[in-house]
């Protein structure tokens, strides 16, 4: 499947992007582990999140996805049954890494596989801490899918110091800790997104946070959740940048999650001189949200380094596009994690925006972008990566001539309806 994008000098309108992907995954998982009925409003019905739903359905959990609300009837962790035929996580890293923490303590064997891209992504980062807790896991080269997890029934608590700032690793260990008798803790070099901590607290788990260290006491009995998921800031980011680089117009994004562990994009765009305002701030089911308003802006280059990366990582491709329109040289460093995302995003964004005329140098741990440049239409491809596809679509809106983006089916992993929302703003 491909998209054809023609330039549009104007971008205007008010939109609500779909619900947060990270929160939806966690809400499904915790709802399945809780005892009782969980009701999740504004969940993200994307392919990635449906992989998590299907995994729990295959373990005997009743889940209704037919209405506006996602309903989950959990019977507790001990009620999960052997997933018939194994679990296919598709393209979803969050499904594999978080689910492994749950499966590690189940008294049955299970296998998780995934698509070609997911099968190239490192799993050692979760295998190591889970083994320290007594889990039995095998993987190709001890690192790649499929993962075979043979249940132990009981795990040991651990005080894990993670070498990477990763919410997936942190959440995996905390989920495993729910079934270990005693206190399991995870400490990370920089604080990663904290949705798991917020939701565990909402479920009544005994959880404590001290700086970059989070601890949970097991065994835990979880209460069901009733929550409304904020709009995903990672999806909103594409339209923030569209509103800034358009020639005329304005864009408003409603009820966007602005959790301080996710808001690096706001800081970076502010540093670049963006005309961006946050209004109507409120709390939505334990997460801060706001209406984000952007207007066309004269952007200037900025420097982005390791400290902000956990708060920014998924937004780097669209920041690179903004930097191609900014005055000066933008330097992004400390971002080597980008190489192990749905594609090697350092390489793919440099190559594809490069094909549209951008001046981008690749570095082992980042990118150097020379701006501003006038982009031109080209035939480009997503490399199977949703965030690369959406970045290229926004690039197409400001390029001269027609842009054809190949292999865009992957966008449904995080943002079904992206193209229609984009067209509604042009």
Kindly list the catalytic residues.
314
Question: Which residues in 89-118 contact ligand S3P (CB under 6 A)?
Answer: 94
Does 314 interact with ligand S3P (rule: CB under 6 A)? yes
- Tell me the closest approach of the beta carbon of residue 48 to ligand S3P, in angstroms: 9
- Tell me the closest approach of the beta carbon of residue 337 to ligand S3P, in angstroms: 6
Does 216 interact with ligand S3P (rule: CB under 6 A)? no
Phi first, then psi: give them for residue 32, nearest 5 degrees. -70, -30
- Tell me the closest approach of the beta carbon of residue 308 to ligand S3P, in angstroms: 13
Pick the closer one to ligand S3P by CB: 24 or 330: 24
- Tell me the closest approach of the beta carbon of residue 387 to ligand S3P, in angstroms: 9
Whether the Cβ atoms of residue 345 and residue 318 lie closer than 8 Å to each other: no
Pick the closer one to ligand S3P by CB: 88 or 315: 315
Does 46 interact with ligand S3P (rule: CB under 6 A)? no
Does 391 interact with ligand S3P (rule: CB under 6 A)? no
Does 8 interact with ligand S3P (rule: CB under 6 A)? no
Does 49 interact with ligand S3P (rule: CB under 6 A)? no
CA distances from 323 to 39, 317, 373 (A): 41, 10, 9
The correct pick among 46, 54, 166, 184 for binding ligand S3P (CB under 6 A) is: 166
d(CA 72, CA 59): 13
Say how many residues touch ligand S3P, by CB under 6 A: 10
The correct pick among 3, 19, 22, 245 for binding ligand S3P (CB under 6 A) is: 22
Does 319 interact with ligand S3P (rule: CB under 6 A)? no
Whether the Cβ atoms of residue 218 and residue 193 lie closer than 8 Å to each other: no
Whether the Cβ atoms of residue 424 and residue 6 lie closer than 8 Å to each other: no
- Tell me the closest approach of the beta carbon of residue 163 to ligand S3P, in angstroms: 12
- Tell me the closest approach of the beta carbon of residue 70 to ligand S3P, in angstroms: 17
Does 389 interact with ligand S3P (rule: CB under 6 A)? no
Choose one: 161-169, 263-271, 320-328, 396-404; the region binding ligand S3P (CB under 6 A): 161-169
Pick the closer one to ligand S3P by CB: 22 or 382: 22
d(CA 147, CA 151): 12
The correct pick among 70, 265, 313, 326 for binding ligand S3P (CB under 6 A) is: 313
Pick the closer one to ligand S3P by CB: 345 or 372: 345
The correct pick among 58, 168, 330, 343 for binding ligand S3P (CB under 6 A) is: 168
- Tell me the closest approach of the beta carbon of residue 352 to ligand S3P, in angstroms: 19
CA distances from 425 to 3, 239, 305, 408 (A): 16, 9, 32, 19
Choose one: 31-39, 146-154, 163-171, 286-294; the region binding ligand S3P (CB under 6 A): 163-171
Choose one: 149-157, 164-172, 179-187, 224-232; the region binding ligand S3P (CB under 6 A): 164-172
What is the DSSP pairing of strand 87-88 with strand 109-113?
A: parallel
Does 194 interact with ligand S3P (rule: CB under 6 A)? no
Choose one: 76-84, 165-173, 315-323, 360-368; the region binding ligand S3P (CB under 6 A): 165-173
Does 403 interact with ligand S3P (rule: CB under 6 A)? no
Biggest CA–CA distance in the chain, Å, is 62
- Tell me the closest approach of the beta carbon of residue 162 to ligand S3P, in angstroms: 10
Which residues here bind ligand S3P, judged by CB under 6 A? 22, 94, 166-168, 171, 192-193, 313-314
């Amino acid at each position: 499947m491909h998209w054809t994008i023609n330039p549009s000098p104007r971008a205007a309108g008010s939109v609500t992007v779909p619900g947060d992907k990270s929160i939806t995954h966690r809400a499904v998982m915790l709802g399945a582990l809780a005892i009782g009925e969980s009701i999740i409003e504004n969940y993200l019905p994307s392919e990635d999140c449906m992989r998590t739903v299907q995994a729990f359905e295959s373990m005997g959990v009743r889940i209704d996805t037919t209405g506006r609300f996602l309903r989950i009837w959990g019977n507790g962790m001990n009620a999960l049954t052997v997933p018939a035929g194994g679990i296919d996580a598709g393209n979803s890293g969050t499904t594999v890494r978080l689910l492994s923490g749950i499966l590690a303590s189940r008294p049955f064997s299970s296998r998780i596989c995934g698509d070609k891209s997911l099968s190239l992504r490192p799993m050692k980062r979760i295998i190591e801490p889970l083994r320290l807790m007594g889990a039995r896991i095998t993987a190709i080269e001890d690192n790649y899918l499929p993962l075979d997890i043979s249940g132990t029934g009981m795990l040991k608590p651990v005080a894990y110091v993670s070498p990477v700032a990763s919410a997936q690793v942190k959440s995996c260990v905390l989920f495993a800790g729910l079934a270990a008798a005693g206190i399991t803790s995870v400490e990370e070099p920089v604080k990663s997104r904290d949705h798991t901590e917020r939701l565990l607290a909402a479920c009544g788990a005994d959880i404590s946070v001290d700086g970059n260290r989070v601890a949970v006491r097991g065994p835990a009995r979880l209460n069901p959740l009733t929550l409304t998921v904020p709009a995903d800031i990672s999806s909103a980011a594409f339209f923030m940048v569209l509103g800034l680089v358009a020639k005329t117009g304005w864009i408003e994004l409603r009820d966007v999650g602005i959790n301080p562990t996710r808001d690096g994009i706001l800081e970076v765009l502010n540093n670049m001189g963006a005309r961006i305002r946050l209004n109507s701030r409120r709390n939505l089911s334990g997460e801060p949200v706001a209406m984000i308003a952007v207007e066309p802006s004269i952007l200037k280059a900025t420097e982005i380094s390791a400290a902000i990366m956990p708060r920014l990582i998924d937004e780097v491709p669209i920041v690179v596009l903004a930097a191609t329109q900014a005055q000066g040289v933008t330097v992004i460093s400390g971002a080597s994690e980008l190489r192990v995302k749905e594609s090697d995003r350092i390489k793919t964004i440099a190559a594809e925006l490069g094909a549209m005329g951008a001046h981008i140098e690749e570095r082992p741990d980042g990118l150097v972008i020379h701006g501003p440049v006038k982009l031109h239409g080209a035939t480009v491809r997503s490399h199977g990566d949703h965030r690369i596809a959406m970045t290229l679509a926004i690039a197409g809106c400001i390029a001269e001539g027609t842009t054809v983006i190949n292999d865009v089916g992957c966008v449904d992993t995080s943002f079904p309806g992206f193209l229609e929302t984009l067209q509604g703003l042009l």
